[in-house]
Structures are given as C-alpha cells and as structure tokens.
Amino acid sequence: MSAQKVRWVSAFSFLLFCASSVPTWGSARLLRELSPHDYFSSLQAGRASLAYFSHDASPGAQPFLEQIENSVEALQDYGISVVKVQCPKEDVSRYCGEENALRKAYLFRGNMLMREFPTDALFDVDAVVANVLFALLFNEVKYVETLADLQNIENAVKGRSNIVFAYVPATGTAEHRAVMEAAFVYGTVHQFVLTTEATLLKDTGNDKPDVSSARLLFCHCQRATDLAQPCRRTAMGQALTLLNIHRHLKLMGAPLVTEVAEDPEKVSTVHLQLGLPLVFILSQKETYEADRRTAEFVAWQLLGKAGVALLSRDLVDLNVLLRSNVALKTPDEGVPIKYLALEDTDEVITLVEDKSKVEQIQEGEEEEEEEEKENNNQDVQDDQVVEAVSRDKKRELPLEQILALTEETFHSALLEAARTVVLFYASWEAVSLAVLRSYTEVADHLKGTRGVSLSRVNCWDWPGVCTKENVTQFPTIKIYEKGERSVVYDGMWATEELTSFIMLSRVSCPLKLATIDEAEGYLRGEFPSELSSYHHTSLLGVFSTATSEAREAFEEAGSILSGHVTMGMYFEDDALALSRKYAVSPPALLLARSGGQSVEGIALSKQSAQDMVQMIRYELLDIFPEITVQNLPRYLQLRKPFLILFSDGDISQMESEEMLKLAKGRPQRAFVACWLNVRKTPVGRGVLKTYFATVPSLPVLLWVNLHAGGQVFKFPPEQSITEANILSWLEKLKAGLEVPSSTLSEEDWKPPLPAYDFLQMMETAELPLHTSHRHGDTPAQHPPENPGGDVTIQETKAEKVGSPGRDLRGTAPRLAAREKQGKRHSEL
C-alpha cells in the first residue's frame, strides 16, 4: 500500500501538468476489451482496475458506457485501468450472469473487489474519477457527517499534521473530483476530511456559508498546541479546482514569515512564483522582536493572499527613506518595489487586498497624520531654541558681571568705560535669552579686561531706549566707544566669536603702525600685545605716501571689518623697505597667516572699499580648511561644490598633503576642498547618516554639489586618497560615470504642523447668521455637513466647561489631565 502511494505521489507532478491542460494526450484506445477470463487472470496485486461487464447488445447502458470510456484516460493517470469485459452469451457467472450486474461497474484492487458502482453514480467523467478515487483513498480522505467526527479527527492529528477540510454539496461533482485528485497527491502529507453536510460548514465558523458551492479550509492543526482550541483555519478563496487546491496547499505549506537578508528585488518566494504579492516588513536590530511579531500577525491575515517576509535593514543597504516600514513586491515583472510608511497592520492588509487603495492609503495616511497631530502635537513645542530656553528658565543666570541698564542709566553708563558692549534683548524672547546665556560666558572670559564693560538692556522694560538706539530686532549687540560711534555686532551668536570680536575691536582697525619694527612685530602677531593671545591672520596695508586713495579705501574697509579681522597699515617714508622685503610694490597688502610663518603679498589696485572688503574676506579663507559649524557659512558663500573629507579625529599627514596639493592645483577654486573632524563637529555624523543611513567607516571623501542638483558622490573607499586618484574620480564624475550615493532633499520648509482653524470654528458657530457674507473663493473651508455644526458647538462648549480658565479650583485637575497626555508643558 505504502509503496503504491509513493508511486502515486511521484506521478503527481506529471499529472498536474497534464490533468487539466493536456487531456487529449495519447487518446489511442486505452479501453481494453477482455473476456472475463482474461480479465480476471490479468489482475495484478495492488493494481486497481475498473471493470464493467457487457453483453453485445444492451442498449440501455450506452450513455453510461460512454462516460466510462471517456474517463479511461483520466483514470489511467492514477494507474487505474478500465476494462470492458465482454461476457459471452452463455456466461452466467457472477458478473456476467446477473441482469443487475450489467448495470454496474466494479472496482478491483488486485483481484479484490473494492466497490461496485451503480451506473447512475458514474454519470460523467468527474463522477467516475471522484468516486473511484474516493473508494480507493478511504484512508486518506475521511468522510464525516457530524461536527463531533470532525473534532475527533482534529484532536487526533493536533501537533502532528494539518487537515484539509472540504465541503462539497454532492459527491461525484467536479469539486469532489478535484478534492479527491488533490488527496491522491497530498493524502500522505495532510489529513483530508470530506463532508457533504452543510451544517458542518456552518459550525466551522462560516457566518453565511453558501451551501450550494463547495469550500475548502486548511486547518493548521500541526501548530495547534492547545487541545481545547480548534485549529486555526484558512479558507481557500478560489473555486475548488485541482490547480487552485494545489496552489492553496503549496501556500499553506510555505513558511509563515520568510526571513530575508538580501536585496528585495532579488528575493523570490513561492508566493511570487504563484502570482501573489510579497510584503516585506522592514526591520532593524532594535525592533527585531516586535517586527517579527508584526510580521507574523500580518502573515496570518494574509495567508493565501500574499507572502510576508521580514527584511533586516541592518543587513541590507537599502536606498529608501528611513521612515518606510513596509515594502510591497508584486509578481508582475518590471514593477518596482513600492516602499511605504504605514501606520497599522490594517493598512498592510488593505494594501494587498485592494491594490488600488495603495495610493489612497498614502494620501489618507498623511491626512490622518495631520489630524492626529492636530489632536496631539499641535500644542507641543517643536522649536528647539524655545524649548531649550524654557527648560533652562529655572536656572539663575550669573548676571553679576553684566550691568542692567535702564532708560535713566543708559547714557551715563556709556561714558564710564572706553568700550561698552550692550546686549539689547527681550526677556520673553527665546533667541535673546539663548544669547544672554552665551553673553554671561563672554562676561566670564572678559572678567578683569580693562576698558570693556558688558551691559544689557531689556527692551521689554525699556522700549524707549531700544527705539532710540534703532534696535528693531532681538537680540542686538552694539559696542559703544566712549562718546563716539557704535558698532553693531554681526557675527555668530557664540561665546568665542563674540569674545574675539570684543577683543579685536579694542584695537583700531586698521591700526596705524609707526615703525618698521612695529610692522614686523605686527606681522609676527606680537604687536599690539593685547591681541597676541588671539590666534589670527594679520593683514598689513603698505602704502607709499602717494597712494592716499588706496589708503582711504583700506581705512574704510577696516572700519567695516573691525572686530572680525586685524588690520594694520604702514605708510611711513620707509614703507618701500618693507615692500621690498616682501617683494611687493605699494600699495600692497601683506597677509601673515598663523604668526608670520609665511607672508603673502597682494598688490592693491584702485579698489573701492567694498571690493577691498570682499577681497580681504576671500583671502582670509583657508585653502584646505577644517569645516566647523562656525565657519561653514563663509565657505558656502563661495557657492561652489564641496570636496569634503570626513574624518574621525585628525586627518593623516598624507591625506592632508594630497588634499592640499589638489586644492592648490586649482587656483580658481572650482570647488571647496575641506575636511571635517566628526569628533570636533559631531553633527558631521548626522550629515553622513542622512547621506548613507548609517555612518560609513571613516575617513570618507565626498563630493557634494551643494548648490547645483545636490548630488552626493562617495569616493571609492578601496582607493587611497591621492591627488591623482581624486582627480581621475572627479573626471568620471564630470563625465557622469558615477552614480550619486544620495541627493539632497529639495523639500520646502513647510509649516511643521497645522494651526488651529479658528475661522472654521467661528463659522460653524455663526453659520446661520453670516452665510451670505462669506467670500466666494473659500468654500473649501466650510464643512459640508452643516447640520452637524450644532454638535460641534456643543462639544466645544462642553470642553470649555471642562477646562476652566481662571478658576483656580480647576487648575489641579487640568494640569493632571495634561500630565496624562504626556505632553511637555513647562508652563502652568
């Protein structure tokens, strides 16, 4: 018996291909006609055969014979031979003799009679095949009549195998045949259960079973551990055909969730092969367990409709938005994988069940998101500066070093010190307060510095002073020179920069140098002594007495750059000596970078002060700078692409030299060659994460088209950073031979969250009154469900009652309620 089964199973794949699609195959007469003797002697053990007996002329059996003849081929596929036994006229043996026997067909296995079929049970090919297989597979296919029978079977196989439960309205139908044919193949794998009792269908959990159509359920009993619980069932959605059943069983047999660690484009599973979509749940290390549960949940929901795979992002370099959490791969070729950010599992299921809804979900999701935010996040502070300041407000600032000025004391205070730095701020304004914090640090640095006094004016208290001093924005810092001019600070709001500005502006700009020695000392950074501790580039204008025009422009430029740059000028008679030393002819500019180790000379022509300012600013830029938060804007102003080396710590001598060579080789600054130390500028990691999702191994050299297109290219990490390599890489870039690793987002800065729509609330409340006054062009703002308007009002009123404003008694619960919402309200 078991050997026979094995044979049957092995025959299956062949069968599948031919069973339905190639039925006419080998239609040579397979129906053997034998005499009773021949027949009975030909019967082999284990072989099944269907035989009918006939006399020459028995016209009544004619249609029945036709059906038998037609099913010969089908039965042949299952190794069942069909034999027509010609009864001799005189034969009155058991099968030939009886009148009734001639109206029956007999199924033998070996020479054992298994079953006799009345001819009316074999009304067509389906019936013949179904009934014959049903008779043969009595072990594999249990017929049940009651629920109890079914449950008994379930309990018996729980933990061991699964059940394929089929309901057919009647035996002998095409569906019945399909089930039997499937059982022929899968009978050893799954327990098949068949019923024709519609009540069983009802009891198996179908709410509204259509008793006229056959159904097939896959009962997952193998996984069932709890004997008290019925097995999970998955109904087959399609019509009961052999192919569909095969497909269904194949799907049920596939792993619930496939773990994937390769490019999803390359992944293929049973589902895709069977024309079903595959859903990827994108996971990462941190959330793996949760994602796995999610995947399983989704998989159960989608069983038979789509496959579910769990894709670990950590293992695969995905070039998709990080917020995407689901991907959908369809079996259609050439359709790219769709990456989505879905909010709940229902969306995943909808996604599969109705593909047309995908777009809607995406749109709807955004709306929903907004709504949700309207409810939850709108009143949560999302301004980092405001939030930081309000979290810091309980800390008392060390303001002792900073004089608070009033309308009355302002003018007299300015006269007291040589230089008075005044911070104009508003005590309610966050940026002002952030700057005030840095200002206290400046005060700390400058403690004891002679001739500089630090003070502040709160414009919320003294608006008159601020208006008079032409302060229109908060914060503003002005440096007043005793009884003279004032300079507005226009640098970074940072301790270091402001301190340096204050210190540098103590020295007049440009500083008139009296002797050659002073000039030399100045270039070495030793003179004037108060600046010697500040590392800076010194600029020295050298003028002959004749070049007053250039000198005036230089002086004007100096007043513009005061505080940012140290500028000196020398125009004594022996200026020529100085210019000869540095091989320039006056008017000229000498540039001493970092303590006079190298002095560059630049000829000055007839430039306006503004041009000179531009030129000086340009000259002060480094050739291969280390980019920091503070200095980036200066280099961005060149509006050139960046060739930037991200490094963890200092860059190596070799890299530095190669990059410098590269930068120096292009005099026109076609790009900004620079480097970034992620230890010093940790936000550099943030930049890299945005480009590559994770921080790649450092150092990494990138070409960033900051101002045109925004493409980011990554220098091949396997190549060493040499001028030649970089140059040839850049050539390839220009030729368009490289693929960008990332592209800077072009997204606009839209409002982070919606505002309260008071207009709509007011309109809803006033709707009956002012309908006629409304603009014609804003109909979209009116809710279509006008009758619902009243409800809204009541609701808001009710809410209002629940949120007493001035009533102190209500305060505690109100605050408590807020706590519950988990919002950040540092305000009471």
Partner 1 sequence: LGLALYASGLCVVSGTAFLYHDYCVIGAGPSGLQVAYFLQQASRDYIVFERSHAPGSFFALYPRHRKLISINKQYTGKSNSEFNLRHDWNSLLSHDHRLLFRHYSRDFFPNADTMVHYLEDFASLLKLRIQYNTAIIHVTLERDRQAWNGHYFLLTDQDRQNYKCSSLLVATGTWVPNVVNFPGSEYVEGYETVSIKPEDFAGQTVLILGRGNSAFETAENILGVTNFIHMVSRSRVRLSWATHYVGDLRAINNGLLDTYQLKSLDGLLEGDLEDLAIVKDKKGKLHITLRFYLENRNTSAGIDSITLPQDELDNFATRAPYDRVIRCLGWKFDFSIYNRSLKLMPGKGNKKKYPQIKPSYESRGTRGLFVLGTASHSVDFRKSAGGFIHGFRYTTRAVHRLLENRHHGVPWPSTIYPITQLTNSIIKRVNEASGLYQMFSVLADIILLRENATAFEYLEEYPVGVLAELEVQTGRKAPNGLFVVILEYGRNFSGADKDVFYYNRAVGEAQHAWQSNFLHPVIYYYKHLPTEREMRLRPPDWPLPHPDAIHHIVEDFLTDWTAPNAHILPLRRFLENCLSTDLRNFFAESCFLFAFTRQKLPPFCRQGYMRMQGLLGSQGLRHHAAEAGLLEDHTLTDLLGDRPPDSHEGSQDQLLRDHVIPVRPLQHLVNAKDE
The only residue of 6, 629, 727, 791 in contact with partner 1, by rule CB under 8 A: 629
Q: How far is the CB of 356 from partner 1 (least distance, A)?
A: 23
**Angle in degrees, CA 113, 114, 115, rounded to 5:** 105
Beta-carbon contacts of residue 257 (< 8 Å; ≥ 6 apart): 292, 295, 296, 299, 308, 309, 310
Looking only at residues 656 through 695 of this chain, which bind partner 1 when binding is defined by CB under 8 A?
678, 681-687, 689-691
325: contact with partner 1 by CB under 8 A: yes
Looking only at residues 432 through 451 of this chain, which bind partner 1 when binding is defined by CB under 8 A?
434-435, 437-438, 441
For 566, phi then psi, to 5°, come to -100, 125
266: contact with partner 1 by CB under 8 A: no
The only residue of 357, 634, 661, 782 in contact with partner 1, by rule CB under 8 A: 634
Q: Which amino acid is at 828?
A: L
The only residue of 6, 92, 112, 321 in contact with partner 1, by rule CB under 8 A: 321
Residue 740: cis peptide before it, omega within 30 degrees of 0:
no
CB-wise, 152 or 786, nearer to partner 1? Answer: 786
Q: How far is the CB of 648 from partner 1 (least distance, A)?
A: 9
The only residue of 29, 89, 323, 734 in contact with partner 1, by rule CB under 8 A: 323
CB-wise, 74 or 318, nearer to partner 1? Answer: 318
Segment interacting with partner 1 (CB under 8 A) among 257-265, 518-526, 575-583, 793-801: 793-801
Looking only at residues 386 through 405 of this chain, which bind partner 1 when binding is defined by CB under 8 A?
386-392, 395
Q: Are strands 191-195 and 141-143 parallel, antiparallel or unpaired?
A: parallel
Using DSSP's 3-state secondary structure scheme, residue 425 falls into strand
**81, 50 Cβ separation under 8 angstroms:** yes
Looking only at residues 208 through 247 of this chain, which bind partner 1 when binding is defined by CB under 8 A?
none
The only residue of 14, 428, 534, 618 in contact with partner 1, by rule CB under 8 A: 428
CB-wise, 38 or 490, nearer to partner 1? Answer: 490
Segment interacting with partner 1 (CB under 8 A) among 9-17, 130-138, 284-292, 714-722: 284-292
The distance of Cα 306 from the centroid of its chain, to the nearest Å, equals 22
Neighbours of 59 (CB within 10 A): 6
637 by Cβ neighbours in 10 Å (0-12 / 13-18 / 19+) ranks as exposed
**817, 380 Cβ separation under 8 angstroms:** no
The only residue of 55, 94, 223, 293 in contact with partner 1, by rule CB under 8 A: 293
Neighbours of 74 (CB within 10 A): 21
**Residue recorded with tokens 């998955």:** 234
Give the Å distances, CA to CA, from 140 to 172, 189, 246, 364, 719: 17, 10, 16, 50, 65
CB-wise, 549 or 766, nearer to partner 1? Answer: 766
791: contact with partner 1 by CB under 8 A: no
C-alpha–C-alpha distance, residues 632 and 675, integer Å: 11
The only residue of 407, 619, 622, 723 in contact with partner 1, by rule CB under 8 A: 407
Beta-carbon contacts of residue 633 (< 8 Å; ≥ 6 apart): none
The only residue of 332, 748, 784, 812 in contact with partner 1, by rule CB under 8 A: 748
For residues 134 to 153, the per-residue mask of contacts with partner 1, x marking binding by CB under 8 A and - elsewhere, is --------------------
491: contact with partner 1 by CB under 8 A: yes
Looking only at residues 636 through 655 of this chain, which bind partner 1 when binding is defined by CB under 8 A?
636
Q: How far is the CB of 121 from partner 1 (least distance, A)?
A: 48
The only residue of 113, 335, 670, 759 in contact with partner 1, by rule CB under 8 A: 759
- Quick one: angle between helices 345-353 and 357-376, nearest 10? 160
CB-wise, 140 or 347, nearer to partner 1? Answer: 347
Residue 528: cis peptide before it, omega within 30 degrees of 0:
yes
Question: Which of 456, 442, 451 has its CA nearest to residue 419?
Answer: 451
Looking only at residues 449 through 478 of this chain, which bind partner 1 when binding is defined by CB under 8 A?
460-464, 472-474
The only residue of 145, 766, 795, 819 in contact with partner 1, by rule CB under 8 A: 766
Question: Which of 473, 438, 477, 472 has its CA nearest to residue 456?
Answer: 477
The only residue of 28, 45, 57, 769 in contact with partner 1, by rule CB under 8 A: 769
The only residue of 34, 492, 602, 733 in contact with partner 1, by rule CB under 8 A: 492
349: contact with partner 1 by CB under 8 A: no
CA 33, 37, 80, 134 torsion-angle sign: positive
C-alpha–C-alpha distance, residues 543 and 339, integer Å: 67
Q: How far is the CB of 254 from partner 1 (least distance, A)?
A: 21
C-alpha–C-alpha distance, residues 477 and 482, integer Å: 16
Segment interacting with partner 1 (CB under 8 A) among 31-39, 356-364, 376-384, 449-457: 376-384
The only residue of 18, 349, 431, 623 in contact with partner 1, by rule CB under 8 A: 431
Number of residues that bind partner 1 (CB under 8 A): 123
**180, 141 Cβ separation under 8 angstroms:** yes
CB-wise, 12 or 462, nearer to partner 1? Answer: 462
**415, 482 Cβ separation under 8 angstroms:** yes
